[in-house]
Chain A
């Protein structure tokens, strides 16, 4: 099978072209020599099936950024039949350098001048025949977004493929990558003879919008207002959808599964229903949120506003070792950690991305909010409860801040902060939808197995050995709660609450349900009993611990998938457990010392 790679600077439309060519056959795969995932797809090209790979964006083949190293490693470990260089036509005067560098490697290549629609509007004209002659490779103008001339580009690519019989050996490329070239002079001479740019460049509309959105005083308030609106939209629209899925799942369970399993032993039906089926339900609950999140994020990203957000809040973020795009993801984490972690993929520096992923699980997501709403209503008066909630949000922000400061040297960002501000664009519906769908597919492929296993494990802990009341003291979970009593007593958490914490590891939504099972009561009766058994200091300590100790199983699995490392997931778990304990300890002991 022939192998073709798409290569180009960031934001030139590689992914857009990739999606257009690949349709729905795209998948994520591992490649020799590199640790990041790349999208690839099988496409039909001039009678052959070829494999198309979307490489990360790079500025210079000799650059040192994480992505540039990935591309270099890819080129020197994988044999290729064709490299398709994608360039933004409006910036061809500086992007031609990549084509010259690739040609010097001796790889069969062609150049795609993308965004021809924008170039035309800006009055830029390029003589692609002359450019092709000078460059010694085919040159095709297309618009990946609107699909103009994409079939021609495919035909040209097929032509190049049929000319070469053998792929170029990657070993050979490795040697070639070292050599220095004088790209500058050649690029200038080609551009001089083949490109005509109007004297007055610049996008008028974009400048005018920027004047408003990047305004020295208005910029930040607009940013926060926009984030608030998007946030509200994602999570308010997501809630009914999640409820709907939960309703359907329960319906199916009571009307189909339970009657079906009526004659099986209790342990088996428990395992199947409360373990496996609930595990799948946990996975399903994330689908609407992930779709909505990426529908919105695609708009924010593709419109070009995300880079502008980076501009606006960078001054506040730089001290924490984070950047503005990371900040947007942390804010979104207050809705749900899982898509926020997936969204950090826009950050191209690996270390900064890891640091951002380390702090996102500390943001008080809506699932934790539900637990706190219940607990504060149980333990505090209606006038105190909002203040307690506010305090919990403050604690959440503080733990994010402290974690970032403490770990910023561990995950030191070594890439310069220098970003392009693309002109404002609006993504097509097709682009928005495709992205939402791809991300859900990715989440389901990667996460559903581990999440289900985790849910089954927690079911086993709280229901075994057989024949015991669920979540009672004699179950494994109860025993674990006892073992940990020496560490949990100093923070005011008794063994029954400890069992609730074990449930909370799966998902915070089920903590209240778990308490109901543990105490054997529901609703108001549960509230009464808890208010009797716990004083507010204990309750607060429990809430602080719940806030920090671990977000949920799905977050942890996503963290592991995105970082591609169990080690990193463990660091995150252990750090948050330790931090949770210390914060609760300080709170509980000082409150007791002060006589509360």
Chain B
């Protein structure tokens, strides 16, 4: 991954880690993400994806979270 290029969370590969660079969400979704630990500058790892284009399983710190791809698209990450 090119370190200067940012991409969306759903484009990471399973096992790959990155840093959250921006979050594009309305207030309610932003608050929810923040409460679950999604903050700019935090490290995030894509653990696995569900089959049939299902949700993503990510890890931030000690928390494991699942979210749909449509929601993951709103989170920009850059490489470590």
A pairs with B: yes
Q: Does B2 sit at the interface, judged by CB under 8 A?
A: no
> Which B residues, 44 to 80, have Cβ-Cβ distances below 8 Å to chain A?
47-55, 57, 59, 61-68, 71
Contact across chains for A220 and B32 when beta carbons are under 8 A apart = no
Q: Which residue of A lies closest to B49 (CB)?
A: A216
Give chain A's interface residues, CB within 8 Å of chain B.
9, 59-60, 62-65, 90-91, 93-95, 97, 122, 184, 197, 201-203, 206, 210, 214, 216-217, 219-220, 307, 310-316, 318, 416-423
Whether B65 pairs with A65 at a CB distance below 8 angstroms is: no
Contact at B66–A310, with CB atoms within 8 Å? yes
Bound form: Cα–Cα A417–B35 in Å: 14
Q: Which of B49, B52, B53, B62 contacts A91 (CB 8 A)?
A: B62
CA separation between A420 and B63, bound complex, in Å?
A: 7
Contact A418 B36, beta carbon cutoff 8 Å: yes
Given contacts A220-B51, A314-B54, A316-B52, contact A420 B35 (CB under 8 A): no
Q: Which of B34, B35, B50 contacts A315 (CB 8 A)?
A: B50
Please give 10 more A-B residue pairs, beta carbons under 8 A apart, in addition to A311-B57, A315-B55, A422-B64: A62-B27, A214-B48, A216-B48, A216-B49, A216-B51, A219-B51, A314-B54, A416-B29, A416-B32, A418-B33
Q: Which residue of A lies closest to B45 (CB)?
A: A202
Contact of B66 among A197, A203, A311, A423 (CB under 8 A): A311
Question: Which of B37, B55, B67 is within 8 Å of A94, CB to CB?
Answer: B37
Chain B contacts for A416, CB-based, 8 A = 29, 32, 67-68, 71
A-B contact pairs, 25 of them (CB 8 A): A59-B32, A60-B32, A62-B31, A63-B32, A64-B27, A64-B31, A94-B63, A95-B35, A97-B35, A184-B39, A201-B62, A202-B59, A219-B50, A219-B51, A311-B55, A312-B54, A314-B54, A314-B55, A318-B68, A416-B68, A417-B67, A417-B68, A418-B71, A419-B65, A423-B64
Bound CA–CA A315/B69 (angstroms):
10
Contact partners of B32 in chain A: CB under 8 A: 59-60, 63, 65, 416, 418
In angstroms, how far is the closest chain B Cβ from the Cβ of A410?
21
Q: In the complex, which residues of chain B have a beta carbon less than 8 angstroms from the beta carbon of A217?
A: 51
Smallest beta-carbon distance A288→chain B, Å = 34
| 10 shortest interchain CB distances as A-B pairs | A315-B54, A59-B35, A64-B28, A315-B52, A421-B64, A60-B31, A201-B62, A418-B67, A94-B37, A417-B68
For the side of the interface on B, what is the size category?
Answer: 20 to 34
Give the residues in chain B near A64, CB-CB below 8 Å. 27-28, 31
Asked if A60 meets B51 with Cβ closer than 8 Å, knowing A91-B63, A311-B57, A417-B67, the reply is: no
Chain B residues with CB under 8 Å of A312's CB are 50, 54
Q: A59: which B residues are within 8 A, CB to CB? A: 31-32, 35-36
Contact with A417, one of B31, B33, B52, B55 (Cβ below 8 angstroms):
B55
Minimum C-beta distance from B33 to chain A (A): 7
Cβ-neighbour of A214 out of B33, B36, B57 (below 8 A): B57
Contacting residues, chain A, for B59 (C-beta < 8 A): 202
Q: Which residues of B contact A201 (CB under 8 A)?
A: 61-62
In Å, the complex CA distance between A203 and B64 comes to: 10
Question: B29, B31, B64: which contacts A420 (Cβ < 8 A)?
Answer: B64
How far is the CB of B63 from the nearest CB of chain A, in Å?
A: 6
- Chain A residues in 8 Å Cβ range of B67: 416-419
User: Which residues in B have their C-beta under 8 angstroms from that of A307?
Assistant: 66
The reply to whether B36 and A421 form a contact with Cβ atoms under 8 Å apart is: no
Chain A residue contacts of B31, Cβ below 8 A: 59-60, 62-64
A313 to B66, CA, bound (A): 12
- State whether A311 touches B36 (Cβ < 8 A): no
Kindly list chain B residues whose C-beta atoms are within 8 Å of the C-beta of A315.
50-55
Partner of A314, one of B27, B28, B68: B68
A406 to chain B, nearest CB (A): 23
Given contacts A60-B31, A60-B35, A65-B32, contact A418 B66 (CB under 8 A): yes
| A202: B residues at CB distance < 8 A | 59, 62
Q: In chain A, what residue has the closest Cβ to B54?
A: A315
Report the minimal beta-carbon distance from B44 to chain A, rounded to whole angstroms: 13
